[in-house]
Amino acid sequence: MENLSNMETSEIKEILENYINKPNKSLVEVMDFLKDDFDKTKDLIIKLTNHLDNTEKEYNKIYKEYKKRMNE
């Protein structure tokens, strides 16, 4: 959980644990934080997935050439 707002991590955790008794303002702040955290995490996963796909592609290309050379 990356701190993306002015809220402290302890404050966020406290609101998440006791959201029933918190004012709407606190709920909105935590919702904003969670949305930002979700969006950043999603973006990172997409970037890492693309990186992994490209790494696999390059590995397979090199491995294919290596196998070809070993059979000659």
Work out the average pLDDT over 48-53. 98
Domain boundaries, the chain: 9-70
- Residue 40 · residue 2 · CB < 8 Å: yes
8 A C-beta contact, residue 28 and residue 17: no
Indicate whether 46 pLDDT > 90.
Answer: yes
pTM value? Answer: 0.74
Percentage above 90 pLDDT, the chain: 86
For the segment 5-34, what is each residue's pLDDT rounded down to a tens digit?
Answer: 567 899 999 999 999 999 999 999 999 999
